[in-house]
């Protein structure tokens, strides 16, 4: 089983939505891939609870029912990077510099997307972009026969 790792800042909203959506789509497509997610500043954001209500609502709107036993956000480690076949940071302008500070050897090995956080986009808009990009990723991996 191959692994894709989604990165955002807090591992609370965008990366968690991407993780659950990808895993649901990968099972439906029969892909031998699994997603995980981590945060580049998890635990320092002041978020309340284990996962954003926007992520949960966005997944439920897509018919993805989640177990209510959510884990709390997790910080990114070198082991997470090394154990992943594909690493995607969800907003280049927000995450490239953080990666350079924390894991400089990985900066050029990460795929960068352009998904805004709540300071720049409403949840419906950001999750629609993320939905499109995750579905495109699943299609890309399926086309490769991965």
122-142 tens-digit pLDDT = 999 999 999 999 999 999 999
| pLDDT value, residue 47 | 67
Record the tokens describing residue 98, joined without a space.
């953080």
| pLDDT value, residue 55 | 95
Q: What is the mean pLDDT of residues 91-100?
A: 96
Containing domain of residue 105, as a range?
2-144
8-19 tens-digit pLDDT = 999 999 999 999
- The enclosing domain of 105 has a CATH number of 3.40.50.2300
43-84 tens-digit pLDDT = 765 667 889 999 999 999 999 988 777 889 999 999 999 999
């Amino acid at each position: 089983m191959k692994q894709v790792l989604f990165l955002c800042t807090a591992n609370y909203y965008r990366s968690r939505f991407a993780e659950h959506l990808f895993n649901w789509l990968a099972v439906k497509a029969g892909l031998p891939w699994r997603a995980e997610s981590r945060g580049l500043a998890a635990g320092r954001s002041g978020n309340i609870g284990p996962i954003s209500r926007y992520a949960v609502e966005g997944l439920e709107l897509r018919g993805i029912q989640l177990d209510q036993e959510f884990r709390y956000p997790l910080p990114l480690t070198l082991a997470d990077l090394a154990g992943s076949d594909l690493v995607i940071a969800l907003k280049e302008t927000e995450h490239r510099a953080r990666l350079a500070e924390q894991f400089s050897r990985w900066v050029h090995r990460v795929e960068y997307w352009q998904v805004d956080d709540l300071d720049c986009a409403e949840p419906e808009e950001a999750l629609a972009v993320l939905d499109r990009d995750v579905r495109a990723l699943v299609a890309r991996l399926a086309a490769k026969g991965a």
